[in-house]
Amino acid sequence: MNKAIFLDRDGVINQEQGYTYRLEDFVILPDLIEVLQLLQQKGYLLMVVSNQSGIAKNLYKQSDVEVLHAYLVEELKKNNITLSEIYYCVHHPDVTNCICRKPDSLFIEKGLARFDIDPSRSYFIGDKERDTEAAAKAGVKGILIEANISLKTILNQIE
């Protein structure tokens, strides 16, 4: 079985600054590339799981999110980093109900099943309690960080 690192997007991968949907506002955090290279070398698959409720609230379009994700994939690819998948929820409970929005664990569970991942050897790094709640529901170890900090600060928590 494989092992994986699931990552929240805003505040973990890119700078948290409210609803991030414009490319000019998408700032990849310092040390992210170096940390993801190290985790990938250690054999972890890398996946993003993100709530993008601004779509449901009509603040931006799904195509805006797709542009950001394509940019992220290309920037990581330039550094020999592969994202196995990017899962994102387009819903918000004020607009529509779903089971994919964190703190629910549907997208983590999809990743676990699709990529034959052992949850007990996997982690979810997030900057909100809902991230670690989703991780716990899926049997993955959650690591709660402050938004916009270097992931180097939590490397010692990953085996």
Percent helix, strand and coil across the chain, each to the nearest 5: 35, 20, 45
Alpha-carbon span 106 to 138, nearest angstrom = 8
Provide the residue type at 3 as one letter: K
Active-site pick, 10, 64, 127, 131: 10
Residues 6+ apart with CB under 8 A from 114: 85
Is 64 one of the catalytic residues? Answer: no
31 catalytic per annotation: no
> How far apart are the C-alpha atoms of 58 and 92, rounded to whole Å?
11
Alpha carbons within 13 angstroms on the beta-carbon side of residue 83 total 23
Asked if residue 58 lies in contact with residue 21, where contact means CB atoms within 8 angstroms, the answer is: no
HEC readout, 59-77? CCCHHHHHHHHHHHHHHHH
Which listed residue (8, 64, 127, 131) is catalytic? 8
| Catalytic machinery residues | 8, 10
